Homo-oligomer: A and B are copies of this chain.
Amino acid sequence: TLHPATGKSVTVDDLAPLLPMALIEQEASTERYIEIPGPVRDHYRIWRPTPLRRARNLERLLDTPARIFYKDETSAPTGSFKPNESIAQAFYSKEAGAKRLSTQTGTGQWGTAISFAAGLFGLEVDTFMVRDSYERKPYRKVLIQAYGGRCHSSPSTLTEIGRRALAADPATPGTLETAVAEAMEFAATSPDAHFAPGSVLNFTHLHHSVIGLEALEQIEDAGYWPDVLVACVGAGSNFTGFSSPFLGKSLREKLDLRVVAAEPDACPSLTRGRYAYDFIDAAGMAPISKIYTLGSQLLAPRMHAGGLRFHGASPLVSHMRASGLIDAVALSQDACFEAGLMFARCEGTLPGPEANHAVRAAIDEALKCKQEGRARTILFNLSGHGNFDMSAYEDYFAGKIENQVLDDAALNDALGHLPSIDAQ
């Protein structure tokens, strides 16, 4: 991981103003396991362990010999896997003496999770929400407020970066990259403040591994071992958190495991990206890493699964992909909505647009089992519910969901702007 300005390896000093030291150390740790601190465990107990459920009605509907299990992260307080991470970050920042956190949020999942967690540890929180979401999806904003967080439309007038963006285009709908940059500037210039990154960095994967650790025990208790693991991938923290505990060498040898990363065909970094050094943010402020990337300057087609609209996969997921540990599939938006509705009608929970990708890929695996007459065990991660994404389903029913496969010209253009790095 390289510094965006110098092209040299990132040092502790580069990160220290923004993050608690414990997280910086975790970022570079080579330990196999890092203990979950007591106070974090205590708060996890509010909703963890999350249930492992078997989707029997879905199996019946598909008429497949496959067994379909899912890890139900929708039962978390804010409706997705995100609080695993937000509680850990809030804890470490509180321990390090921070009084407040700042962060970005796209559709609001991370913003609600960090607001909840900050409140638990008595921290204030300022979330910068992409203006387009802020104005069109008011309910996540209300939820942030319910947890005691402050929510600002980004670009805002609170930061230099925001003011500049507004001056350049007062009507801008905002971007996630601008929101990230605003949150980082806000943290860097506020006393006792930390920046709370939502994903990408290594420690975020670590904190979500509680999902897979539980799932491993639970599916063993259920008397099965998975043949196929499935999760959706944006940057990848739910994917790695869910799958990595199954990928230790001894388990891999035992299991003959197929691990499927499900990504949108509008933003298919793992299936069509290049494995190269690139910025992990569009503003060029965050570290440069070797990742599967579509180019940080890519303007991906708009899509409802906002959490998967990221130009690259995180360094860890990318490494897993490059090492041949995992497979990836790119899925179309309408096929994913169709799968999500099938799941809701069978199992009751309406998945979020991101989670629909995991559902689609799991269904496809189950249909393959049917074709081949093989009774494999499929386990997927249901990363979040769709209760705050009803406008997406409304669009689907109104026939307004378009499929927008990323086109080659846009991809090639974005890949032409990769930074040139003389790296190891």
Contacts and interface: CB of A to CB of B under 8 A. Distances in A.
A78 B147 CA distance: 22
Given A143-B390, A146-B341, A349 B77 contact: yes
Interface string A103-132: 000000000000010011000000000000
Interface in A133-158: 138-139, 142-143, 145-148
**Number of copies of this chain in the oligomer?**
2
A393 B146 contact: yes
Interface size class of A (residues with CB under 8 A): 35 or more
B390 A116 contact: no
Nearest to A139: B390
A347 interface: yes
Given A77-B348, A397-B142, A57 B46 contact: yes
A57 B42 CA distance: 10
A77 B57 CA distance: 14
Interface string A375-412: 00000000000011011011001000000000000000
Nearest to A345: B119
Given A46-B348, A348-B76, A348-B83, A145 B397 contact: yes
A389 to B, nearest CB: 10
A120 B60 CA distance: 11
Contacts of A116: 344-345, 348
A54 to B, nearest CB: 8
A345 B142 contact: no
Nearest to A344: B146
A215 to B, nearest CB: 17
Nearest to A337: B146
B348 A47 contact: yes
A387 B79 contact: yes
A193 to B, nearest CB: 21
B394 A138 contact: yes
A55 to B, nearest CB: 9
Contacts of A53: 46-47
A334 to B, nearest CB: 15
Nearest to A341: B146
Contacts of A148: 345
Contacts of A347: 46, 77
Nearest to A398: B142
A210 interface: no
A34 B139 CA distance: 42
Given A57-B46, A57-B120, A390-B139, A78 B348 contact: yes
Contacts of A348: 46-47, 76-78, 83, 116
Interface of A: 42-43, 45-47, 53, 56-57, 75-79, 83, 116, 119-120, 138-139, 142-143, 145-148, 341, 344-350, 387-388, 390-391, 393-394, 397
5 contacts: A42-B56, A83-B348, A139-B390, A146-B345, A147-B345
